[in-house]
Structure formats: structure tokens, C-alpha cells
Copies of this chain bind each other. A is one copy, B any other.
Amino acid sequence: MTIIEWDDHVALTQSAPGEFAASLSDGWVVGGGVNGGYLLATIGNALGRTAPGKPDPLSVSAYYLSAAVPGPATISTRVIRDGGSVATLAADLEQGDESRITVLATYGDLGRLPDDVRTTAEPPVLPPREECFSNSMAPPEVREMAPLMDRFDMLFDPACVGWAVGAPSGEGHIQAWFRLNGERDPDPIQLLMVVDALPPVSFDLGLMGWAPTLELTAHVRARPAPGWLRVSHRTRNVAGGMFEEDCEVWDSADRLVAQSRQLARLPRP
């Protein structure tokens, strides 16, 4: 039943305080590894069970150590400081003797934040979904290399998808509508995956290929409203063999619910 696919993929079994077993789904493979956003959401799920009364990520910083593979993984979490309305937490994801990701995070309760909104950022301007370029139109060889493409509907702005047909815009910008299979509504943990679900923005610079993340920090700023998300990726500083990728996630109520920035390596020429 597709409606619970996501929840099954990020499910955990707790074996001791702060110790969780996960089973990394081969449905999130892309190229030679497992999607970093899916891994981060799985870790985020474990962190959400670590500090009582603080289920939601406010800020999560992940340092990627080695490429994960589908199958068993252990996630160890610990409380660095639990004080007042937020807790600072740490987590490590390991497979056998290999460390995959190490994380610091601030968790709290998004439902208890004040209601003020003075955001000046503007939502991405996207054409209606029926005018967008669906990931379901990707050629079979792409879908075979990237099974994660079958996990969601990702409807690309046609203005930013020239890279798919060999004509990148060169602007360093990709944006799309996003919704998980089964019309699974977004939640704060899911947003940790959404910020790293689109293809690398380096595609739009004509630099196709794997762009390994060194570091990704995501801020989750509100519980997303039900429905489609809009996701925008940009890069402005491409130098020294690396680039930053800035992501914004907007919900159906026009709220900027998550922002992230990652530092990634450019694909090797």
C-alpha cells in the first residue's frame, strides 16, 4: 500500500536508549549510494525520539563521511544539552564498522513557537503542475540508475529543466513541485529529505554527474501545511571545485517551511 511507503522506509526499532536500528531502503538509491536527504530524515526520525517533548528539528547539520548502501544501519543519538524549549543533540549513522554521517542538531516543538511571521522572501513562481515536466517522463535508463525517482512526484519548472535534454540554462537554478507517493503529506522530518531530493543544481550549469555533499544544514521553520510543496535550489558561488546549494521549501499555505544550504563537490570533469 503506497500510502505508508515513506513511513516504512524511515521506520526504526529502538534497541536501547539512544540506539536505533534502521533498514535503508534500496528504493532511495541514486547512482552509487543512498540519497543523503533520505538518510538525514531517517536520522532526524531517531533524533525526534531522543529528547522528551522535543520531536521537531529546528536545525540539523550533517557531515557526510562515506556513501551508505541499502540494508541495515544503526543510529546512535545523544543529548548534549536539554534546556528550556530546545535541546542540542548529536547522532551518528553507521553500517558495520563504517561511519556514514555525523550530525549535530537543535530540536524543539514547532507547535509551541510564536505565531509571528514577518518573512520577506517570496515563494517560487512555478507554472501550474500540468505544465511542468514530470520525473515520470525520465528515460528508463535514468530511472534504473536512480530508483529514488519512483518515490515521489517531482514536477520541474520547464524553464529550469533544459539540462535533462542537454541544454542547461547556466543559471544555477532548479525548481519543482514535490509530493511523496501515496499523497503522503509533508511533516517536519520529511522536510529533511525534501531539501536534498532534487537533482544537484550543478546539472543546470551543465555539470552532470554525482556531486557529493560534504555538509548540509537544514532549518525547519514551521510544520508544513498538507498538500504539494514547492522546492527551489540555487547556487551562486561555484569555485575551487565546490559549490554551495541553497534550498527553500514552501508549503501549500505559502509558508517558507525549510531552508538549507549544502557544500558539495563539483562532479569531476
Do residues A238 and B104 form an inter-chain contact, with CB atoms below 8 A? no
Q: Which residues of B contact A103 (CB under 8 A)?
A: 104
Taking chain A's interface residues, is the majority helix, strand, or loop, or is none over half, making it mixed? Answer: strand
A86 to B61, CA, bound (A): 17
B61, B80, B104, B236: the one contacting A99 at CB < 8 Å is B80
Do residues A119 and B263 form an inter-chain contact, with CB atoms below 8 A? no
Kindly report how many copies of this chain are found in the complex they form together: 2
B65, B104, B116, B236: the one contacting A88 at CB < 8 Å is B65
Do residues A261 and B261 form an inter-chain contact, with CB atoms below 8 A? yes
- Report if A214 contacts B (CB, 8 A): yes
Do residues A244 and B222 form an inter-chain contact, with CB atoms below 8 A? no
| Chain A positions 232 through 269: 1 when the CB is less than 8 Å from some CB of chain B, otherwise 0 | 00011111111010000000000110010101001000
CB distance from A99 to the nearest CB of B (A): 6
CB distance from A114 to the nearest CB of B (A): 4
Q: Which residues of B contact A81 (CB under 8 A)?
A: 65-66, 99
| Chain A positions 111 through 123: 1 when the CB is less than 8 Å from some CB of chain B, otherwise 0 | 0011111111100
**Would A214 and B59 be within 8 Å (CB), given that A114-B241, A120-B236, A121-B236 are in contact?**
yes
Chain A residues numbered 12-43 whose CB sits less than 8 Å from any CB in chain B? none
Q: List 9 A-B contacts (CB under 8 A).
A: A61-B63, A63-B88, A80-B99, A113-B241, A120-B236, A219-B263, A221-B239, A222-B240, A237-B256
